[in-house]
Every structure is written in structure tokens, then in C-alpha cells.
Amino acid sequence: MFFLTKLAVAKRSVTILVALALFGGGVASWGSLKQELLPNIDFPIVTVIAPYPGAGTADVAEQVAAPIEAAVSGVSGVESLRSVSTTGLGFVSAQFAYGSDVKEILRQVEAGIAAAKLPSGVTPVVRNYNINSAAVVIATISPKGDMTLDELATLASDELLPNLRAVTGVASADLSGGVEKQAYIQLDATKLAASGVSMSQVQQIIQANNLTFPAGQLPIGGALVPVSATGRFTTLDQLKGLIVGASVGAGGVRQPVLLSQVGTISVADVHTSGWSETNGKPGLSVSVSKSAEANTVTTAQDAIAALDDFKAAHPGKVETSIVTNSSTFIIDSINSLLREGGLGAAFAVLVIFLFLLNIRSTVVAAVSIPLSLLAAIISMSVSGITINIMTLGGLAVAVGRVVDDSIVVLENIYRHRSQGEPIGDAVLNGTREVASAITSSTITTIAVFLPLGVVGGLISQFFLPFALTVTYALLASLIVALTVIPVLAYFLVKVKGANAKVPYAVEGTHEEISIWGRLYLPVLGTALRSRATKFITLAIAASLFVGATSLVSQIPTQFLNSGSEKVLTVTVNPPLGTSTAVVLDHSREAYALLDSDAQVQLVTTSIPGENATGSQTLTAAITGRAPNAARMTVILDPETDLTAAKGRLLSLLAPVGADGWTVTVEEIGFSAGSNAISVIITGTSTNDVAAASDAIVAKLSENGDLVNVKSDLVKAGRQVEVTVDASKAAAVGLSAAQVAGEVRNLLVGSEIGQMEVAGEKLNISMKIDSSLVADVAALSAYRIGAARVPLAAIATVREISVPSSITRIDQSLAANVTGEISSPDTGAVNTAVKDAVQSLKDGGKLSAVDVRLAGVTEQQNDSFAGLFTAMAVAILLVYLTMVVVFNSLVDPLVIMFSLPLAVIGAFPALLLTNRPIGISALIGFLMLIGIVVTNAIVLLDRVEQLRHEGVETREALMRAGATRVRPILMTAVATILALLPLAAGPSEGSIIAAELGTVVIGGLLSSTLLTLLVVPVVYSLIDGLKGSLRRSAA
């Protein structure tokens, strides 16, 4: 790589121009990078939601979920398949291997479902899961003054939604909570029977007179003009006067039967999109989602601007509140990481100055920080990497490392110049001496990230942008150190060699030794004095290593650290079959209690509509909750302790969670779900699965660190079963399908088209008046068919007890026991859960079923195993890299002795700061593998140079130590101080960087201090052993 230095110094003007161009290009690229919360990852997970209104759990499982499962299981690459069936809704999710083509999977799944035989009216919605697919803005709008909710809903649909959908980057804008007018036909069963008219006959006549039909073409003036025949209802009176049949009146005369004679026709307000309230008052909820390629920040800001414009256009009539704004978190994260990264860079520059006490030289080294980072940003822009929490953390972490190579080069140039060499010679000679060392150390640091792409899974997807960002920055820093730094040193380093002094000499040499060398050499000399002192040095290091590793049991473990958004979700879950009106009343009771808490700032309530397929319905299906459970988003004061608030609100809401109702309080945001445990039970018998589920729920509920422990296998469900006797039905001219259709028309009704009244489109719905059918006896007595026979005459009608939901995993009966970990030590709770399940197995209570742990337990186990594998591969790669650099199998082994020394500082650092061992901490350990060997490489590279010059081993170690101790300490201290603001972790952007920074600081501190002693000692012992072997061979 030294050829780059010679070229750069020979073309100094060109080098400076290129550096300036990189600076300008980096600034421009920063402004053009897309900003989002997290890396844009398409998880290989496909979900299918299929509403089947009015259907019982068993019917949904058999008629909806099972055919969809069969269709999805036929797609190649399915790793796991899960279905949840509940009243009126079927849900199926399939997970495929990471790296699969998600678009192709979606196509195959949609094709398979299209070919499946599903009940009429069931339209599945197929989606894949993208980590950035959540709404970027959720807002509430409420009526003020004399405006009604109905008027506001119309205004929002006509004005606000079109404006939001016109915003660049918006993929969808949806409105919920509003009411819409609907033409409602309620038929009287008695009058229908008396007139000899059936509901299906009425439906067919309405649809036959409410259509547009292409009737061909008419030749007019030589041209063919299309002709269409149209029938349209434009008033309710037209519907009322519609002839739907004929009856025989007095004297045997047939008389027409009007629709108004067999039913009532009215316009009703219907909550088709669910219910929404803000602070206990009815309102509307607006959800805005972005397209995959859109910029989260600009999309969210433009959407909020459209909301503000809508409010301004109707002064005194509309009130808006922002519930979720993704751009705020991202902007705060960018600002905080820029602030902390800038502070870290300032610390690094200060360290350089304190070591060199030369402003010109400090400026030279300081240039490498912004130049390397801006070059990395250009690379990010070219490779399509976005600005997000992970890449921002990578840039901030890189601040502490990008200056290292420049420090080593500059310090060596400075030293050569101080010894009287001309500036041209000092620049070339100083860079030549360290070029191989900094190249190999940078390559080893980068090499540790390669296994992240090999281990696959969530960790690879999640941390790959972080690894690439750091890699870009480190490669840029190496090139800057070998090109720009020597050129700037040529112009700015003005040490006068003639005045240089030799305050300390090593073995008769005449090199200038810094104060750090004078402090270090006596200690090193003592360690190298004899075999006894060498082994004592190693024994001390080994004791420190054992002591540090013994602290692991006292450090908590965690999958991912929580974010700092002060938002909680309260779910009010009713018993199955509870009407939405009653759920709404309970949610208002919950709001009254929440409003009494001083730290609660805003509460929004959402209850999905009957045919909803959104995220709330999906969550209800997965967790076994009622489809119409109320979700309340609670925004708290920014200074709130979230953990304490969760416990306080749960106790506060206890009165609502009685008489079969349940209330849960959960976190949302970045790490939502990262503290949720899940125990999956599968078996062949419903009773066995239910018994195992009960036993596990009871056992886990004893753990004080688990809250909201529940099973999705709830046995309190009620269902009325109508079993048709085919022979009896046939005797009165009916089939089982016709009987089922008439019962459904009675209880559910149907949508039969649209009509336009006074310019407003209204959906037409029709239903038989079932107000008198309020129990099983009334349903049994209901008369059906042309013969008007009681239902009980041709069918058995009875109430049975069924599960409120049926879960199948890989097409086997299953139950899912879930709970939320309230302790920060998720690892300890996971272990307790494992022990609890194992104790039940040992007691024989789970012998008839299969049980496995999922949720955060599975995530943590898989992720930790993947990262440990990555570390092992990284160590091997680092060793192989050094074998190539040093052309030796033994010398790299000496350097590898510096790796355990990092543990000595890393574990105590985590313990002292009360930081958990989680994914970000393990990434820190992975980085340490590449970073800590840097010091050893810089030291031994000089030792090898001296040995090749014929210098004896001990003298080479002392001389190398004297000249390399200052750059080693400079780089280590600069990195430590640069990471210190991140490790303090006071802001949102420190979600990933806090534990990572803590590990790197602690590990680098211990490894740097001990490497300066342990590596020379090990090198001396091995060199002595090699000498003994050579003498023995001779």
C-alpha cells in the first residue's frame, strides 16, 4: 500500500483537490440519503388475514384456515406455518428462509390461495412483513364547535385523504372511527311468509334493477356507438315502491307486494371502519404509511403539514393531535448522534494535541475524521444504504477508530522529523515503516464483520448496514492515512530536527524517546528480566482474566435494549361475544382511570370494525384476543420512568380487568416484543393441549418477573350449532346449504350493492329483523323455506362450548402461552421459564404434548448462538489475515494473546454501568476482536523490522516499545474518549451504541495496558523456545 503514499506525495496538488472533492461530495451525499427508523428489511414472513363474518371458530378453522394452510404449505421453502382461527376471522402466517425472494413468495402464495376453495364472500388479504411497514404518522382529528362527527368524517374523506395520498412518498392514508350513511333494509320474517316472498327473491329483484349492463352497439352515421342499459335507485321512495313479488288477495286476485310492505327502508349511520376516541371523546383516526423507497422523515413531515393545512382550512371546527410521528424519533436520533459523535471527535483531537503538543500536527490528524466519515457517506449513497439507527450508530462508533491509522502515520512522521530528517524523507520513511502495520490492522478490524453475512438470520439482516457503514469508514481512513496525511504533513509538520534531543536511550540507540516511553520501558524491562518475571506477568494477566469472567453471572442479559419513547399500549380485552358497545363503555372507564394519572398526556382509543384486516385485527388473532378488543395508545410525559409507569397503570386499571375482562399494558416502538416470552404447545388431542396450557400458565404466573401471562387457548367460548337432518330438509324442499343460507340471512344479512341519493353514494345492506330471535329457543322456532317450517323440525339446534380460538402450528393443534418480562434481566427470566417448563416435564404433566420455547427466548438463543459463531469465524479470519501479513504461523499466535485481555475490562465495564449483555454488547465484543489486535500488530511489526535488521530479541522489544508506545496509547485513548459520549447513552440514538461503546471502552482499556506487557513477554518466551528447538535440532 506504500505505493499510494509515493504517488500522493509526488502529486500533492492532485491529492488535495481529490480530498476537497470528497469533502464536497460527502456533504452533498448526506443531504440526499434517505432517512428511516431502521434498515429497510423485508422479512421472509407472509401473513394471510381472512375475515368470515358471523362464522364460529370451528367453521373458520375448517373452511378458511385449513384451505389456506394447504395452499401456503405448497410453496417451496416454508420453514414454519401457523394459523389462528377465531370467531369471524382466520389468520395464517408462514416463515421462509432468510434470503428468500419475498416478491416471488408473495406471488406463489396469492396464486395458491386463489385456487383454494373458500366460502363465498371470504376475501383473504396477503401481506409480507417489512420492518418499516408501520405507519409513519398516526393522528386523531376531532370535531369542534357545531361540527358533527358525521360531517367531519365526510370532510376528511373528501378533502384530507386525497391531499394526504397526493403527498410524495405516501403509499396509503386510511381513516377509521368515522360513520358512513348506509341504506338499510330490514325485512319482517312474518310479513315475508304471509306474502310468499323470500329474502333471496328480494335480493335478486333489487340487484336486477340496480345495474348497468352493456347492450351492444348502435350504428349512427357510420359509427358504432356503445349502448348500455342502466337501472338505478336514486331515492328511498324508489326502493320502497319496488315490487318484490305477488300475493293472492281477496277473491283470488293477485296483488303486487311492495318492498315497503315486507320491511322497513331507512338511512342509518354505520361505523364501518371501527370506533376511535381521543381523550374519551369520539373522533377519527388517520393512519399514513409510506412506500418502500420513500424518505420517512420528509414523508412524515409533509403528511403532518397536510393535516395542519386541513385544520387551518376549517378554523374552530377541527382539532388534531399527533399520536405517532416517526420523523421525530429519527431527527432526535440524528441530532443526538451528531452531537455525541462530534463531541467524541473533539475528544480525539484533544488527545492528539496533548500527546504531540503541536497544533499543526493536530490539525493534520484531525482532518482524517471528517474526511473518512464523508467518504463513507458517499459509499453509503452509492450502495443504497439509508440513514437509520443502525448506520448512525456505525458512523458514531467509527469516529473513535478512523483517526487511529492517521495517528500512527503522523506520529511516525513527526518522530522521523524530530530526529533531523528532511521533511520529504521523514514523510516517506515514516509512512513506509507503519504502512504494513496499519494496513493489516485495518483489514483485521474489517474482517471481523464478514461473518455477519455468513451467520444469516435476523442478526445478519439487522446489523449488516451497521457493519458496512463501519467498513466503509475504516477503508476510507486507511486510504486517507496513506495519502492525505503524508501530504498535509509535508506542508504542516515543522519540527526542527537540528534541535532534537535524546532524553533517553535504548541499548545505545539514538532515537528520541517520548515521556511515555520513559515511563513504559522500565516496566517492560522488569517484565522481560528473567523467565520468572515473564511467568509472573502471565500469571497476573491470567488471574485478571479469570476474575473478569467470573463476573458474567452477575451481569444481566437482554435481547435488545429498549428505546426511550414514552408510549404505552393498553389493551382492554372482553370475553368472546361481547358487543362493541359494551367494549366501548369499558374503554371509557379505562380512560377515566388513566386520565387521573398525572404523567398521562394523551390517550387514543381504537376498536376495529367487523371486517377489519389491519394491524389491530392481526394482533388480536395472534394473541388470542377478541377481534373487537379496544387498544388504547397512552402518551406519557417525556421524563416518565417507563418501567414504573407500566406497573402503576396496570394496578390503576385493575378494576376494569374483572368478570372475564383482561387488561394488558405493553411497550411499543423500537424494541416492542423484545421482552415477550412464548411457549408453544403442540399435540394431537385438544384436551391434552388444553391441560398442558393450563399447567404452564399456572406455573409461569408464579414468577414475579412475568406479567400478562395468558394462553391463546381460551375455553370460555360459546357457539350455537345447527345440525341439519338432510332427509327432513329434503322433504320440505331444502338442502343443508339453503338452511345455512337462511340462518345467515337472519343473523348476518348481506351487502347487495350501492345507490346514489342526492349525489351521495350509499351501500345497500339487507337483513331479516332478528330482534325477536334472542336465544336458542327462538332460533329453533324460526320458520324457514317456502313451507315455513320451524328450524327445529329439520335440524338440531343446541349451544356448545368451544375454544374461542384454534391455533395450529405446522398443521398440528397448538396453544401459545405468552407473557411479558418486567425485569431488565431477560436472560435470567428466560432461564427461569426453561426451568419451569422442565419441572413440568419431569412431573409428567407435559408427556402427551410437545413443548418448545419461542418469543424472546428463541430470538435470544438463536441470535447469541449466531454471534458466538461469528466471533469464532472472526478470530479465524483475523489469524489468517495476520499469517498473510507476517508470513508466519507463530507470530500471529503471539498477537492473538491480546484477545483475552479485552475481556478483563469489558465485563467489569458492563457490571459497573449496569448494562446488560445483549445483541449490541456482543457486537461490541465482535468489534474488539479486530480492534485489540491492532495495538499488538503495531508493536510486533516494528519488532520484526528490527529483527530483520539483526537486532537481538530483547533489544528489539525494548526499542519497538520505546517508539511505538506513544502511537499505541494515542490511538487507544483517542478511541476510548471518542466513544465515551456514546457509551453514556443519554439519548435515543444510543439504543445500539450504548452497550457496544461500553464493551469497546472497557476492553480496549484493559487490552491496551496489558498488551504492552503480555505480548512482548509471550513473544520473548516463544522466541526462546524456537531458539531452543533450533539448537536441539542442530
User: CATH for 567-713+808-850?
Assistant: 3.30.70.1430
Interatomic CA distance for residues 892 and 960, integer angstroms: 17
Q: What angle do CA 144, 145, 146 make, to 5 degrees?
A: 115
- H or E element that contains 438: helix 423-447
Q: What angle do CA 1013, 1018, 1023 make, to 5 degrees?
A: 130
Adjacent-strand bridge partners of 679 = 817, 853
- H or E element that contains 138: strand 137-143
**Inter-helix orientation angle 457-482/423-447, to 10°:** 170
In the prediction, which pLDDT does 1033 show? 67
**Inter-helix orientation angle 199-208/736-747, to 10°:** 80
pLDDT band at 1016 (very low <50, low <70, confident <90, very high): very high
CB 99 within 8 A of CB 458: no
- 389: its cell numbers: 439507527
pLDDT band at 38 (very low <50, low <70, confident <90, very high): confident
Distances in whole angstroms, Cα of residue 972 to Cα of each of 81, 379, 514:
50, 27, 17
- 883: its cell numbers: 499469517
Task: Report pLDDT digits (tens) over 120-145.
Answer: 878 888 887 766 666 888 898 988 88
Q: Which of 50, 146, 133, 141 is nearest to 89 (CA)?
A: 50
The fraction of the chain above a pLDDT of 70, given in percent, is 90
Question: Quick one: residue 811, left, alpha or beta (phi over 0 = left, psi -120 to 50 = alpha)?
Answer: left
pLDDT band at 504 (very low <50, low <70, confident <90, very high): very low
Greatest distance between any 2 Cα atoms in the chain:
138
Distances in whole angstroms, Cα of residue 884 to Cα of each of 644, 864, 928:
55, 30, 21
**42-130 and 567-713+808-850, same CATH topology:** yes
Interatomic CA distance for residues 842 and 846, integer angstroms: 8
Interatomic CA distance for residues 334 and 864, integer angstroms: 28
CB 979 within 8 A of CB 397: yes
pLDDT band at 543 (very low <50, low <70, confident <90, very high): very high
Q: Which of 469, 820, 558 is nearest to 673 (CA)?
A: 820
Going by their DSSP bridges, the two strands 180-187 and 760-768 should be labelled as parallel
User: CATH for 42-130?
Assistant: 3.30.70.1430
Distances in whole angstroms, Cα of residue 593 to Cα of each of 589, 643, 654:
7, 19, 10
The overall average pLDDT reported for the chain is 83
Radius of gyration of the chain (CA): 37
Task: Report pLDDT digits (tens) over 165-180.
Answer: 999 988 888 888 777 7
- 867: its cell numbers: 454471534
In the prediction, which pLDDT does 130 show? 67
- 853: its cell numbers: 420455547
pLDDT band at 1006 (very low <50, low <70, confident <90, very high): very high
Q: DSSP state, 62?
A: I
CATH 4.10.1240.10 corresponds to the domain 718-805:
no
Residue bearing cell 367453521: 59
Amino acid occupying residue 212: T
Contacts of 813 by beta carbon, 8 Å cutoff, 6+ apart: 682, 683, 684, 685, 686, 689, 806, 807
Q: Which of 491, 467, 636 is nearest to 567 (CA)?
A: 636
Distances in whole angstroms, Cα of residue 274 to Cα of each of 24, 178, 338, 605, 629:
52, 7, 42, 11, 11
pLDDT band at 254 (very low <50, low <70, confident <90, very high): confident
In the prediction, which pLDDT does 919 show? 77
Read off the pTM.
0.72
Provide the 3-class DSSP secondary structure of residue 1004: helix
Q: Is the pLDDT of residue 612 over 70?
A: no
Task: Report pLDDT digits (tens) over 685-727.
Answer: 888 888 898 899 899 988 888 877 888 776 556 778 899 998 9
Interatomic CA distance for residues 61 and 412, integer angstroms: 74
Residue 2: what are its φ and ψ, rounded to 5°? Answer: -65, -20
- 863 HSE (CA, 13 A, CB side): 26
CB 956 within 8 A of CB 947: yes
Average of per-residue pLDDT across 613-635: 72
Average of per-residue pLDDT across 334-343: 77
Distances in whole angstroms, Cα of residue 51 to Cα of each of 342, 610, 801, 979:
53, 8, 22, 52
In the prediction, which pLDDT does 624 show? 60
Residue 655, Cβ neighbours under 10 Å: how many?
A: 11
pLDDT band at 622 (very low <50, low <70, confident <90, very high): low
Query: Would you call 363 exposed, middle or buried from its count of C-beta atoms within 10 A (0-12, 13-18, 19+)?
Result: middle
Q: Which of 118, 150, 131 is nearest to 40 (CA)?
A: 131
**Inter-helix orientation angle 990-1033/326-356, to 10°:** 40
Q: Is the pLDDT of residue 859 over 70?
A: no
In the prediction, which pLDDT does 509 show? 47
Amino acid occupying residue 307: L
Adjacent-strand bridge partners of 608 = none
Task: Report pLDDT digits (tens) over 370-391.
Answer: 999 999 999 999 988 888 878 8
Interatomic CA distance for residues 415 and 423, integer angstroms: 11
Q: Which of 782, 801, 806 is nearest to 793 (CA)?
A: 782
Q: Is the pLDDT of residue 201 over 80?
A: yes
Interatomic CA distance for residues 693 and 849, integer angstroms: 10
**Alpha helices (runs of H) in 633-735, residue ranges in sequence order:** 642-652, 686-700, 726-731
Interatomic CA distance for residues 847 and 851, integer angstroms: 10
Q: Return the domain boundaries, the chain.
A: 1-32+358-496, 42-130, 516-550+888-1034, 567-713+808-850, 718-805
Average of per-residue pLDDT across 77-88: 84
Q: Which of 783, 560, 750, 566 is nearest to 674 (CA)?
A: 560
Interatomic CA distance for residues 162 and 168, integer angstroms: 12
- 854: its cell numbers: 419461542
In the prediction, which pLDDT does 33 show? 86
Least confident of 236-245, 268-277, 432-441, 639-648: 268-277
- Provide the CATH topology of domain 1-32+358-496: Multidrug efflux transporter AcrB transmembrane fold (1.20.1640)
Beta strands in 157-220 (DSSP E): 170-176, 180-187, 211-220
In the prediction, which pLDDT does 613 show? 56
In the prediction, which pLDDT does 592 show? 92
CATH 1.10.645.10 corresponds to the domain 516-550+888-1034:
no
Q: Which of 450, 394, 470 is nearest to 874 (CA)?
A: 450
In the prediction, which pLDDT does 197 show? 82
CB 751 within 8 A of CB 765: yes
Q: Which of 645, 713, 654, 652 is nearest to 679 (CA)?
A: 713
Distances in whole angstroms, Cα of residue 54 to Cα of each of 101, 202, 612, 741:
36, 21, 14, 12
Residue 338, Cβ neighbours under 10 Å: how many?
A: 14
Task: Report pLDDT digits (tens) over 452-473.
Answer: 766 666 677 777 888 889 899 9
In the prediction, which pLDDT does 152 show? 87
Residue 395, Cβ neighbours under 10 Å: how many?
A: 22
Residue bearing cell 419441572: 839
